[in-house]
């Protein structure tokens, strides 16, 4: 058992769309990521997608629905099977929780990120 300082972990890298594992929770990876711009539309067939905004603001585009703004201190969960795309006009810092082995790209043609542990 140990305390994880998320700010310290986020300061260890500057890349975008590059989630880093900071802890394990049951059979899940707890990760931090920075991003700007937009990701590809995709879905996860077998798991929900968890986003908690630590700093900044992001938009969650949901296919066929209005975009949702998610601000620092707020979380957004995309149910499994729902086509979505996170995006941000300015850099945003986000906490993610995903089952181990789940590619962050879902069913998109985009290559999944490797998810290094820090």
Q: Is residue 112 over pLDDT 80?
A: no
User: So what's the pLDDT on residue 43?
Assistant: 94
76: which 2 tokens? 């957004």
- For 56-89, the pLDDT digits (tens) are 999 999 999 999 999 999 999 999 999 999 999 9
What Cα–Cα distance (Å) separates residue 103 from each residue in 60, 83, 113? Answer: 18, 15, 7
Maximum separation of any 2 CA atoms in the chain, in Å = 43
Beta bridge partners of 98: 29
d(CA 23, CA 78): 21
- Local confidence band at 101 (pLDDT 50, 70, 90 cut-offs): confident
d(CA 116, CA 18): 9
Beta bridge partners of 88: 37
In the predicted model, what is the mean pLDDT of residues 30-42?
96
């Amino acid at each position: 058992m140990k305390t994880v300082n998320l700010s310290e972990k986020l300061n260890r890298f500057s890349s975008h769309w590059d989630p880093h594992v900071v802890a394990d929770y049951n059979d899940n990876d707890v990760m931090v990521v920075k991003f700007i711009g937009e990701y590809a539309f995709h879905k996860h067939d077998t798991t929900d997608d968890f986003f908690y905004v630590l700093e900044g603001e992001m938009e969650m585009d949901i296919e066929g629905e209005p975009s949702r703004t998610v601000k620092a201190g707020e979380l957004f969960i995309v149910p499994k099977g729902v086509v979505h795309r996170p995006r941000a006009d300015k850099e945003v810092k986000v906490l993610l929780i995903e089952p181990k082995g789940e590619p962050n790209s879902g069913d998109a043609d985009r290559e999944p990120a490797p998810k290094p542990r820090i």
